[in-house]
Amino acid sequence: MLKLHLPLVYLCLYIGFISAQEFKILCVPNVGCMKGRYMDGYQTEKFEAFLGIPYAEPPLGQRRFRSPVWKPKWDDIIDATMAKPDCIQKNYLLPTPIVYGEEDCLYLNIYRPVLRSGALPVMVYIHGGGFFSGSASPLITGPEYIMDTGEVILVTMAYRLGALGFLSTGDANMPGNFGLKDQHLVFKWIQNHIEAFDGDKTKVTIFGQSAGGVATHLHLLNPNSENLFHNVISMSGTANVPFAINENPLEQAIKTAELCHIRNAKHMSTADLSEALRNVDVLKLINAGDGLKYWDVDPLTNYRPVVEHESPDSIIPAHPEELMKRNYQGRPWLVGTVPEEGAVRVVNIIENSTLLNQFNQRTEYLLLKLMEWPDRYTAEQQEHKTSVVVTEYLRGIWNIRHANEFGFLDSITDRGFKHPLYKAIKEHNDRRGRTWFPHFMYKFNYKGPFSYASLYTQANVTGKYGVVHCDDLLYLFRTPLIFPDFDKKSTEAKVIDSFVSYIVSFARFGYAAGVPPTGFCSTAILNARRDGICDYHEFVKSDTNPNGFEVKVSTEFPTERVRLWQELLDEKV
């Protein structure tokens, strides 16, 4: 398995990837003409691909740290046969983080079936990566599985990451959320132009995973997103996760400026500070993020979305906790999760002996920091709450040992994902009577031969952990740069067919077809089921099913621990 995302390897693989392909010309009114190509499907013969379509002007120079600007119509036929480089990033999820990508990166990819009868529903994917990394490239976000269905048009996008996407002074001079605004502009681009690709602009589904899942929920809550999409799928991330909001953006902007050797940053006006940061070399700016870490790669997400002043351009006009209580647009909403979400950080701590020893020497401090307690708590309160976590999850032991390492994993999973997911569902159901809309949930719990756990650390740990953060993506997108293909007659190929059909049918109908029906969800059910949540679909292995897996209706959820977090965070139980 490939461990590092190396640009040279990326290029060599891609050159082979496009060889001997035919080309197709498509002209889009008010956009321009482009030369696309055919790609081979996973189980089907081929589909059409238009790669690297510019949707905004390059965010360079004076356009850095500003909202994206429409790309004007071009006159020549552009080459849309190769994806553009990823947005520049330093991927702290890799064992050896390196900087790669380009600042000029606002491009999207569109895939469509060769045979089309009428306008097709559109699926718009927002990649994850903690708002600091990720890729829309077909080598990482491969469209083959979804395009095998022949039922939808798929759009993937690049958006600004890290400091370039989310640095903010907390005011109009550098309001932040530029990566989210890039996504928002793509939604508008689709409304204006997707019909030229035989897409139905009245049937648009946005879906994303991890930070992409957080983004989809934020867009759902954003009043300025009204009628830009019609279904929402949030995978392994909701708008209220701990890493969703930076509460002190100006302080961070000043610190970043100091790390970039900008003199007198503390005494500058926000206008001068923003201008100075626009002139910093991009590599210096990206590497400055290292200076914001308190230990190793933590916090994983340095630069985060921020709350903005309400305006026609804002994405987050109030804190997500408040927005979830408002009367936001009614759209069918599917949320997804996997059992071991916290593995995205915990696996490398447990499996790296150097990190584990460092953690055990400073457990009280580092665990407190990883919990990301809100600033409203005093130091004494945070220490007390951390001690409760140690008692509940670590068996009262103030370091990580073999006996409690999975308890450590559970603590990060519950704090970072499960509790926010439960609370988002509860807030949703509490809105009944105000533009309510249906909610659905899935849990992907099928473990195959490959796992993202092996990417989170240098060790080969695929067999040690269960289904971890990102493992559901193995069955939604082909990832030839990282994982080998599944055999086309394997159980995993059948899981791909089932899971993709599940997601695509939700995009087509606003509910998942072809699976056992789930019961009705309500706040009363959430409050009554002490050991469960509302009915949801679970993908699991099966020794009795001839396919080797099944999709069943389940209710199990760590609700007792959810209620513990409700108490720790002083929220209504």
| Residue of 210, 234, 314, 411 with catalytic role | 210
Q: CA dihedral defined by 158, 160, 161, 166, rounded to 10 degrees? A: -150
| Residue of 230, 419, 469, 537 with catalytic role | 469
Q: What are phi and psi of 49, to 5 degrees?
A: -135, 135
Query: Would you call 210 a catalytic residue per the annotation?
Result: yes
Query: Would you call 226 a catalytic residue per the annotation?
Result: no
Torsion sign over Cα 504, 506, 509, 515: positive
What are the DSSP E strand ranges found in 375-486? 439-445
Query: Would you call 341 a catalytic residue per the annotation?
Result: yes
The residue type of 493 is A
Beta-bridge partners for 334? 233, 440
**Which residue in the block uniquely carries the two structure tokens 């926000």?**
270
Question: Which three-class secondary structure state does DSSP give residue 25?
Answer: strand
Closest CA to 93 of 287, 333, 343: 343
Residue 529 corresponds to which tokens in the numbers above?
Answer: 């089921």
Note the helical H segments in 222-362.
249-259, 270-278, 282-287, 320-323, 343-351, 353-361
Q: Which residues contact 475 (CB under 8 A, 6 or more apart)?
A: 145, 444, 446, 448, 492, 495, 496, 499, 500
What do you get for the CA distance between the two ends of the chain, in Å? 45
Residue 261 corresponds to which tokens in the numbers above?
Answer: 């050797």
DSSP assignment letter at 289: G
| Residue of 103, 144, 341, 405 with catalytic role | 341
Asked if residue 288 lies in contact with residue 256, where contact means CB atoms within 8 angstroms, the answer is: yes
> Which residues belong to the active site?
210, 341, 469
